Amino acid sequence: MAEHAEAAAEHGHDDHGHGEHHDVSFYYKTYAALVVLFIISVVGPYIGEITGIQIITLITAFGIAVVKAGLVIRNFMHLNVEKAFVHYFLITSLAFMFLFFFAVAPDVLKHDGTNWENVAAKDWIEQKDAEYAAGGGDHHGGGHGDAHGEDHGGGHDEGHGEKKDEGGHH
């Protein structure tokens, strides 16, 4: 049993592969930085909404998320001292995600193009805008069943349903 404990402790150190050993205070400091960033990511979007400056929301919500993720990856997961090939296959996974996004996005983001029009999506958005403008949509938090009642059933073909080809090609 003692041998096991010894071997395990040894693995913890030697096969660890870090090449750097942090003091506990390093992790507390990282945590404090994460908390500060978290507060900014919550307060920032409110300021962005009040001032109407959308870039504040984008930077504080999503920019800060990237910084927070970087801190966790570097200081908690210690990826920076990991073998290079680990970086390569993680980056490959991310690359596949971006490949998927950019391959599919043009078809989803656009609702019309040469010889095709996504009528269902346009109608759906128009209908929801009208409901919202009339105050009858589910823009209020309290209404029991309003989201369910109005959207149930219709939500599934909200745009990515039928593409109606006008020219037989899209």
Partner 1 sequence: MGFRPIANTRSATGIMTAKLAVWWLIASEIVIFGGLLACYIMHRLAHHEWAYYAVHTNVIAGATNTMILLTSSLFAVLAHHAAEQGDGKKAARNLLITCGFGLGFLVVKSIEWTTEIQHGYTITANTFWSFYYTAAGIHGAHVIVGMLCMLWVANTARQGKDLHRVENVGLYWHFVDLVWIFLFPLLYIAK
Q: Which residues 140-169 are close enough to bind partner 1 by CB under 8 A?
A: 141-149, 151-152, 154-156, 158-160
Which of 51, 86, 123, 164 contacts partner 1 by CB under 8 A? 86
Contacts of partner 1 in 90-119 (CB under 8 A): 90, 92-94, 96-98, 100-101, 104-105, 108-111
Count CB-CB contacts under 10 A for residue 55: 9
Dihedrals φ, ψ of 94, to 5°? -65, -40
Tokens representing 1?
């049993």
Q: Could you tell me the smallest distance in angstroms from the CB atom of residue 114 to partner 1?
A: 18
Distance CA 155, CA 151 (A): 5
Tokens representing 49?
């909404």
Q: Could you tell me the smallest distance in angstroms from the CB atom of residue 67 to partner 1?
A: 10
Tokens representing 79?
């990826």
Q: Which residue's CB is nearer to partner 1, number 6 or number 165?
A: 6
Contacts of partner 1 in 16-35 (CB under 8 A): 16-17, 21-22, 24, 27-28, 30-31, 34-35
Q: Could you tell me the smallest distance in angstroms from the CB atom of residue 22 to partner 1?
A: 7
Contact status, residue 80 vs residue 30, Cβ threshold 8 Å: no
C-alpha distances in angstroms, 74 versus 31, 56, 160?
A: 12, 26, 39
Query: Per-residue string for binding with partner 1, 34-53, x by CB under 8 A?
Result: xx--x--xx--x---x----
Q: Could you tell me the smallest distance in angstroms from the CB atom of residue 73 to partner 1?
A: 7
Q: How many residues can be counted in the chain?
A: 170
Size of the site for partner 1 (CB under 8 A): 84
Q: Could you tell me the smallest distance in angstroms from the CB atom of residue 165 to partner 1?
A: 19
Distance CA 152, CA 124 (A): 13
